[in-house]
Amino acid sequence: MGSDSDDAKEKDMDSSREGAWAAAGFAVVLVIVGLPVWWYTTTVYRAHLPYSTIEDLSHQLRYHGISLSVIGAPSYTFSEDLEKHLKSSRSIKFYVTSRQSEKNERERLKTALSVEELDEKMSAATKIVTGTLALFILPDSNSNILDAADAKIVVGRHRNVYATADVDMPTLTSLLKNMVINSLANKKAEGNKVLHDLKGSLRKEAMRQVPTEPGYDVTLTLMIPEPHFISVAWNARKAVEDYLKPFVSQLESITKISIRSQVLYMTALSVSPMWSSSYKHFALPQEQLPLTINAIEAKLGSYVRTRPSLHFVVYIPKQDQSPLHIHKSDGTPVEENSFMVPRWGGVMIHNTPVPEANASMPYDVELDTHWIMATVLTHLQKLLPVPHIKPSEGVLVLSASKSCELTGWELDGLARARVSSYLANIRITLQSLCELVGEISNMVISDEVGGWVWGAVEEWGECLTATREGRLKEATLYCSTSFIQADAAFFHPSMLALLYFPDNQKYAIYVPLFLPVSIPVILSLKVVFGLYRKRTPIKIKED
Amino acid sequence: MLLTDKMWLTLGVLVTIFALVSADVEESNTFTEELLIKPFPSGHVQSHFEFTTTWRNPEISHSIENYKDFEFSHYDLFPRALGEIIEAYHVRELHLSLTQGLWRHQIWGYPVVDAPPGAQLWVWFNPTVDNLDQTWKDLVNALSGLVCASLNFIDSTNTVSPELSYRPQGIAEEWYAGNSSLMRYAALPRENVCTENLTPWKKLLPCDTRSGLAVLLHPAPLYTANYHALSIHLRPSCVDKSCTSPQLELVQALSLVQNPTVSMNGHQDWSLYHLFSTKLISVCPLASMSVIYVDITNNNNKFSLYPEPYKVRKSGSGSSFRKHAVYDINDTPPNEEFDLEAHYKSRHVYGFIPSPVLHVSRFITGYGQEGGSITVKLTNTGSEPLSVVYLEVLPWYLRLFLHTSHDENQPMYVSKLVTALDRERGWLYEAVVEVQGKSTVELSLEFTRALLKWLEYPPDANHGFYIPAATISTILPSPKNVAVNNLGGSTLGDKLILEEGEAFIRIHTETLLVSLPTPDFSMPYNVICLACTVVALAFGPIHNITTKKLVLKKVEGNASPIGRLTSKLKNIFKRGGKKEAEEVPKQDPVIVEENPLFEDREELEDIEEENEDVRIHGKTGNEVS
């Protein structure tokens, strides 16, 4: 019986080994063919993204390098002292160089009779490039010019600052810092958290500034709610040419602004003013202002442009509401009779003379172009982060030769603020892109999006270096291209293609297919392993 | 061939060459509003509103003369929302219509502007455009935002560039008007028109709906009308007859056909209040002209108007004779409501209405789900032969057979044919057909229906697929039944004065509904389930056969039911103390290994158990074996 059963055992062992091989074969086919096919057909395509570079760049220091040349410093200690005072800021780094004034500069200094003349002559003599500043220390013999203007420090029209040798150092340094960049814009770029910590009025001011984008659409809207009473002759074309064109062409290298104008008839602001008998006009309380523009928003949109738009509305009040004046919360009229809407634009209320009782309708009205355009410019400058120097004693700030233009240092400051904001935006965009890709497994990254990201990262790095080295023009260029690319990648429609494909649908398809196949295979594998384990004790026994 | 290319070049084209006197053009904006009311012999009343904005300045003249893109920067009366679209997408001429209902040419004659049911858009672009297909796509999307219509469904499959049917309506030179590659035409027959389209359309008017004739446009009576067409037409036109300087002209038209006879006790009486639920209160102060015309050509003392017409204007003679009562709203006493009423002396008599010279009907023939035929019947009731351009734009899922479309005896030729490409391009079939006087020509295009992919079916696929209307253009020998035949004028008043002689008309046929073979849409899920079941069913046995061996077992018959029960109980007990159980197979592992690949451990254990039982029983009871 023993040998017989051994034979049978042997036979059984063979056949069971065969079965085991078959089971293993199924498993192998499933693993070698099935898994790759499944993986290949269900995997989400992802182009390679530069995660580590993005991480590196977002931790790099961001500061603006500004070279400041001190010309004609009275002593070595002066410039050293200045440098020490300028060091405190985290986001601005001054590179101070010092030299003696040249002969022709001294000569020009002597001949200048007024501050304006001095500035003109000096800026003609020394070319100060974009993104840098020059500080002229006037020798005592010439300081009488400044004394005549009743100032210790004079800020020139270009990129020059004039001071006497006995200038108060903290005043000078804080002035220089304010000239270089709009402090609020700088804070804004550091992130929302910093912004929320700001105090009431400052925060309001910071929130007012328009988001930094490569271009803006400015629309001037003249609102005439009652064209049957008033016919307005206003040459918008000429007004734009005269007042806004110089400003726009000055900003050309920093941001593109396109200007349109339109007339809206039969549309009124939704206001309900009250008659103020003390001022003999209709009073529009300040609290009502936020609601005024809702009524016209529907008529201001564009179906073509996607750039942020700024609206400036000139409103001619209705006959039964004019003259109309905006009142402050304490009940006194606002002098400018206009208000700004944060990140949106501004509204000006233009009162027209009351017609005589028997005048024929509609009567002609001329608009005060100068007032309108000056207000538009002020609003526009406030909406953009142009650096601003608070008036203080002993400081004279020369404004640009044409009232509608910006001075050299203002332009530089604006460019710097925009670069800061761009850098912050790029960092946030790319970081959140990386985060999203990590979080959402269904997100497709096509080669096109990958290309945008790689491009954005490259330009971003260039921009950071250029900013630190103070090459402002290049920084603006690199940053804006990087910003555009990062945005294009983040908002690419292909990213959302599979986002809404829920997991339960996946299982609904996989389960009926995989469950009946994989369960027998896995169970048989278990037995195969069991067999493998049991074969060893048999051998021992036979030995 | 009867038709020369030359003749077709003038088809609908206003003035091909204009004498250019580069005079200093001053900036000028005008806005006019007009309303034409025309009672039909069928008892219906048509009201046609036209709001025309013209704009002229040196830049615009320059752009029109040199076929350059418009550059607008300072808008006055012209709507900025539309202006920005025009300049951004290189548009020279644009015609958009949104229509509900069908204009019945046979009883209503020819309208001022004909429009097919649904949405229709045709645009002439400037030669400056680089990538026209992309520009068209962008334009269509911008426009669908502007008028809140689903124009974004216009894509390459329903866009065509016909050669003859849609020539520019504004100023165009011959080389431009003949270059159909610069134009795009598309129609969406399924598009519904409603208040959501009317509101943005009204926003384009300088006075909005606060004053002027637009006050009459209340949605409720508008959308209960038998026919309702909303349209926007932009074209470069001439300032005056001699055409010395060009201007940009935007016409916003709204056409209504209502049937007051039903509600007025059999009288065709109508009034502004009855038609529009409101009276005229004020005049748009920006309009240089606010006029209501009432067509009284066929009045013959059937009805009287109240108030009396301020002016009666007669024009033309013979078939071009028209008589209009003219009401200039500016002449009405201010601050007074204005209503216009028509009183009929007797009840309306429904009788035979003579058909206009050319009328068309189109229908689907065939049965079943496989093939069919689109048949069009062109009837010429006049005595002179007519040359008719017949344009058919069909979706790719109808597969046409062109060899049967040509009748040997029929004088016709195909002026443009674009064959369809699946999912990429639709059919364009444009033919010139000669219709003899007092005869009917029947053309048919046979087709079979394609099967779509299951994702390509629209929601409610069993409703069927709409086939856009065909376009019929021709030049009639006389302006009988024609509403307008001169395109030179900028205002409706000018256009209503008919020219003697030939009249160009472009009319549209009915839209068609074709049902394609529609699958059961739960099919994919069923297929998945079925396929999975089959796989599971097939795989299980195959796996079992290949990995397991069936071994024949001797079953000892003498085991009593009680013995089995005790062994089962023992089994349960044994599971409790596993260590004991494991010792048993070690003593004799062969038995366990006999069938090692049993899927079910429990079964395996059962067998072990049984074997053990047999062994024990064998030892005790059956010593013989």
B37-83 residue pLDDT tens:
999 999 999 999 999 999 999 999 999 999 999 999 899 999 999 99
State whether A225 and A183 are in the same domain. no
State whether A272 and A230 are in the same domain. yes
Structural domain span for residue A99: 67-187
- Give residues with Cβ within 8 angstroms of B565, minimum separation 6: none
Residue in chain A closest to B82 (alpha carbons) equals A303
CB atoms within 10 A of CB B577: 9
Give the range with max mean pLDDT: A195-209, A402-416, B2-16.
Answer: A402-416
**Among candidate residues A332, A352, A383, the one where a domain is terminated:** A383
Nearest Cβ partner for A260 among B73, B210, B589: B73
ipTM of the complex: 0.82
Of residues B578 and B495, more confidently modeled: B495
State whether B499 and B572 are in the same domain. no
State whether A266 and A221 are in the same domain. yes
Is residue A452 a part of any domain in this protein? Answer: no
CA distance B207 to chain A (A): 6
Is residue B460 a part of any domain in this protein? Answer: yes
Measured CA angle at B322 (ends B317, B327), to 5 deg? 140
Task: Please name the residues between 15 and 34 in chain B that touch chain A, using a CB distance below 8 Å.
Answer: none
pLDDT at A380 over 60: yes
Nearest to A342 by CA among A200, A195, A208: A208
Of residues A332 and B529, more confidently modeled: A332
Provide the strand spans (E) within A25-148: 64-71, 92-99, 133-138
* Identity of residue A65: G
In A, which residues are within 8 Å of B605 by CB distance?
none
Residue in chain A closest to B588 (alpha carbons) equals A538
pLDDT at B326 over 90: yes
Provide the strand spans (E) within A350-441: 363-366, 395-397
Is residue A117 a part of any domain in this protein? Answer: yes
Report CB contact under 8 Å: B81, A236: no
C-alpha pair distances (Å), A489 with each of A45, A48, A428, A485, A495: 15, 13, 13, 6, 9
Q: Does A29 touch chain B (CB under 8 A)?
A: no
Is residue B316 a part of any domain in this protein? Answer: yes
Report CB contact under 8 Å: A267, B84: no
* Overall average pLDDT of the B5-30 stretch: 56
State whether B184 and B299 are in the same domain. yes
Whether the CB-CB separation of A242 and A202 falls below 8 Å is answered with no
Q: Does A35 touch chain B (CB under 8 A)?
A: no
Q: What is the pLDDT of residue A502?
A: 67
State whether A27 and A102 are in the same domain. no
In A, which residues are within 8 Å of B143 by CB distance?
303
Nearest Cβ partner for A303 among B85, B206, B529: B85
State whether A37 and A71 are in the same domain. no
Nearest Cβ partner for B84 among A23, A266, A304: A304
**Alpha-carbon gap, residue B563 to B420, rounded angstroms:** 82
Is residue B531 a part of any domain in this protein? Answer: no
State whether B325 and B181 are in the same domain. yes
Nearest Cβ partner for A524 among B76, B203, B597: B597
**Among candidate residues A366, A383, A400, the one where a domain is terminated:** A383
Q: What is the pLDDT of residue B470?
A: 96
Report CB contact under 8 Å: A299, B203: yes
CA distance B378 to chain A (A): 42
CA distance B62 to chain A (A): 18
CA distance B599 to chain A (A): 7
Residue in chain B closest to A225 (alpha carbons) equals B207
**Alpha-carbon gap, residue B308 to B136, rounded angstroms:** 49
In B, which residues are within 8 Å of A248 by CB distance?
none
For chain B, the distance separating the N- and C-terminal CA atoms, rounded to the nearest angstrom, is: 112
Mean pLDDT score across all residues of chain B: 85
Whether the CB-CB separation of A122 and A109 falls below 8 Å is answered with yes
State whether B473 and B582 are in the same domain. no
State whether A182 and A310 are in the same domain. no
Report CB contact under 8 Å: A267, B599: no
Residue in chain B closest to A302 (alpha carbons) equals B81
Of residues B61 and A116, more confidently modeled: B61
CA distance B580 to chain A (A): 18
Instruction: Tell me how many domains chain B contains.
Output: 2
Whether the CB-CB separation of B44 and B36 falls below 8 Å is answered with no
Full 3-state SS string of A261-317:
EEEEECCCCCCCCEEECCCCEEEEEHHHHHHHCHHHHHHHCCCCCCCCEEEEEEECC
Is residue A513 a part of any domain in this protein? Answer: yes
Is residue A523 a part of any domain in this protein? Answer: yes
Structural domain span for residue B50: 5-514
Q: Does A369 touch chain B (CB under 8 A)?
A: no
Q: What is the pLDDT of residue A2?
A: 46
- Eight-class DSSP state of B319: G
In B, which residues are within 8 Å of A537 by CB distance?
586, 589
State whether A269 and A329 are in the same domain. yes
Task: Please name the residues between 268 and 307 in chain B that touch chain A, using a CB distance below 8 Å.
Answer: 285-286
Nearest to B289 by CA among B490, B488, B111: B490
Q: What is the pLDDT of residue A149?
A: 73
Is residue A56 a part of any domain in this protein? Answer: no
CA distance A411 to chain B (A): 26
pLDDT class of B1 with cuts at 50, 70, 90 = very low
pLDDT in tens, B151-190: 999 999 999 999 999 999 988 888 999 899 999 999 999 9
Of residues B233 and A404, more confidently modeled: B233
Is residue B184 a part of any domain in this protein? Answer: yes
Q: Does A388 touch chain B (CB under 8 A)?
A: no
Report CB contact under 8 Å: B596, A240: no
CATH of the domain at A83: 3.40.50
pLDDT at A14 over 90: no
In A, which residues are within 8 Å of B540 by CB distance?
516, 520
Q: Does B223 touch chain A (CB under 8 A)?
A: no
State whether A170 and A33 are in the same domain. no
Q: What is the pLDDT of residue B335?
A: 77
Instruction: Tell me how many domains chain A contains.
Output: 3
CA distance B324 to chain A (A): 29
Percent of chain B with pLDDT over 70: 86
Report CB contact under 8 Å: B208, A267: yes
Report CB contact under 8 Å: A516, B146: no
Disruptive mutation site among B60, B74, B284 for chain A (greatest number of A CBs within 10 Å) = B74
State whether B287 and B165 are in the same domain. yes
What count of CB pairs under 8 Å joins A to B? 138
State whether B374 and B289 are in the same domain. yes
Is residue A99 a part of any domain in this protein? Answer: yes
Nearest to A289 by CA among A219, A230, A224, A336: A336
In A, which residues are within 8 Å of B210 by CB distance?
266
State whether A378 and A257 are in the same domain. yes
Percent of chain A with pLDDT over 90: 24
State whether B507 and B564 are in the same domain. no
Give the range with max mean pLDDT: A110-119, A381-390, A497-506.
Answer: A381-390
Task: Please name the residues between 487 and 516 in chain A that touch chain B, using a CB distance below 8 Å.
Answer: 509, 512-513, 515-516
Is residue B547 a part of any domain in this protein? Answer: no
Residue in chain B closest to A236 (alpha carbons) equals B74
Is residue A536 a part of any domain in this protein? Answer: yes
**Alpha-carbon gap, residue A125 to A287, rounded angstroms:** 53
Mean pLDDT score across all residues of chain A: 83
**Alpha-carbon gap, residue A281 to A331, rounded angstroms:** 12
C-alpha pair distances (Å), A517 with each of A37, A321, A529: 15, 82, 19
State whether B480 and B601 are in the same domain. no
Is residue B532 a part of any domain in this protein? Answer: no
Is residue B542 a part of any domain in this protein? Answer: no
Nearest Cβ partner for B589 among A516, A524, A534: A534
| Range with the poorest average pLDDT among A42-46, B327-331, B495-499 | A42-46
**Among candidate residues B464, B492, B514, the one where a domain is terminated:** B514
State whether A316 and A378 are in the same domain. yes
| Helix (H) / strand (E) containing B272 | helix B272-276
State whether A142 and A88 are in the same domain. yes
CA distance B111 to chain A (A): 32
State whether A235 and A145 are in the same domain. no
C-alpha dihedral (A85, A87, A93, A96), degrees to nearest 10 = 50
pLDDT at B601 over 60: no
**Among candidate residues B484, B514, B544, the one where a domain is terminated:** B514
Residue in chain A closest to B76 (alpha carbons) equals A263
Is residue A473 a part of any domain in this protein? Answer: no
Specify the 3-state DSSP secondary structure of A382.
Answer: helix
Of residues B111 and A21, more confidently modeled: B111
Q: Does A16 touch chain B (CB under 8 A)?
A: yes
Residue in chain A closest to B547 (alpha carbons) equals A19
Report CB contact under 8 Å: A302, B84: yes
Whether the CB-CB separation of A350 and A370 falls below 8 Å is answered with no
Dihedral of CA A48/A49/A55/A57: which sign? positive
State whether B475 and B610 are in the same domain. no
Is residue B519 a part of any domain in this protein? Answer: no
Of residues A129 and B383, more confidently modeled: B383
**Among candidate residues A351, A383, A415, the one where a domain is terminated:** A383
